[in-house]
Amino acid sequence: MIRPLKLKRNIKVKKENGKKDLSLMLLVVGLTLFGLLMVYNASIAEALRDFQDKYYYLKYQAGWAVLGLLLMFCLSFINYRIWGKLAPLMFLVNLILLVLVLIPGIGVEIKGARRWLDFGFSLFQPSELMKLNFSLYLSIWLVEKRPLSQFLLLLFLVLGLIILEPDMGTAVVVVAIGFLIYFVSGASLTKLMPLGLMGFLLGIGMILISPYRKQRLLTFLDPAQDPLGSSYHIRQVLIALGSGGMFGLGLGQSRQKYEYLPEATTDSIFAIIAEEIGFLGAFALIVCLFFIVYKGFQIAKQAPDIFGKLLAAGISTWIAFQALVNLGAMVALIPLTGMPLPFISYGGSSLVLILTGMGILLNISKYRIVNQVKLK
């Protein structure tokens, strides 16, 4: 039997073993199925144009969804403490994969970025895998207290490889995961706040020295400029959001999906959702995502050991921050960035890995503390 790595101090606990959070599982399954419906709705025009098959994107996404849900279900039965032993090896392999994508002839370049490896049947994005592996490794690594300098060295190693692709969206999520896990492990907020400010200024600097990132920032600050060029995407997003009104145009009735809205099945799928089911439907989706994140942090709070606590917090932060970045870009609160909406957007790597993370989170929920008494 695998024992807890390090129990919370000075408490006597009563643990509930064997009852995973059923409401969380049902909600994740429901959102995944809803995502399949919306991928189909958003992809019809593009699928007919490129593949003469309106079900093309749906068939691929359904295959990944089945795989992801099977993994989630299986992993919910596997004791999460096993991943603490496997985390160092998995992290090392992931670092090697991040190096491989940068090598010409091995990594696949799309739109100027090297983020993918071609396995023949599908493209795979190692930076998506790093969101999970970094959560796992950092959680086991921080079971014992670590100095801030060591944490920053580890964080910069991962960030450097991701930024070289370049993939700023994933880099931002990895930073959020890292800082949240380090904070939950007991780090002082007064030490992390200046680092957060420095990171923000560094991010601004990287935007200003990169022409396409700088253009995105300028477009964000002035969406009216170049309506048929740099600001076309965000203008079409806002048109879709406005067209939906309170109740939407109806499922399948989106007009923006007919080649007006770029990235309709991936980064911009929320705009299609809002257009078809309106403000109320889009708000209900946001509430569901919020509830998943809330349940995740509740599981972290009730975890029986430090590893479970840190890992649950890391997975929850991953989902929360990825959703915030996607939704923030869709409502023009932040510049547009390539970030899929969890459980909803088209993309096999993202969907399978998020569902894998949810399987681990569900297993942690089986061992939650249901009663604790502080010892004198």
Beta bridge partners of 225: none
Top mean pLDDT of 46-55, 115-124, 184-193, 365-374 is at 46-55
With a cut of 90, say whether residue 276 has pLDDT above it. yes
Nearest to 346 by CA among 21, 62, 98: 62
Task: State residue 9's pLDDT score.
Answer: 47
Task: State residue 94's pLDDT score.
Answer: 96
How much is the average pLDDT of 169-175? 89
Distance of alpha carbon 73 from alpha carbon 360, whole angstroms: 9
With a cut of 60, say whether residue 231 has pLDDT above it. yes
Structure tokens at 270: 């929320």
pLDDT tens digits for range 28-84: 999 999 999 999 999 999 999 989 999 999 999 999 999 999 999 999 999 999 999
Spatial CB neighbours of 276, under 8 Å, sequence gap ≥ 6 = 38, 41, 244, 248, 249, 250, 251, 252, 253, 254
In this structure, are strands 123-124 and 113-118 parallel, antiparallel, or unpaired? antiparallel
Task: State residue 12's pLDDT score.
Answer: 46
Counting residues of the chain whose pLDDT is more than 70, the rounded percentage is: 86
pTM (2 decimals)?
0.90
Distance of alpha carbon 217 from alpha carbon 141, whole angstroms: 36
How much is the average pLDDT of 318-345? 89
Mean pLDDT of the residues in the chain: 87
Spatial CB neighbours of 177, under 8 Å, sequence gap ≥ 6 = 131, 134, 135, 138, 314, 317, 318, 321
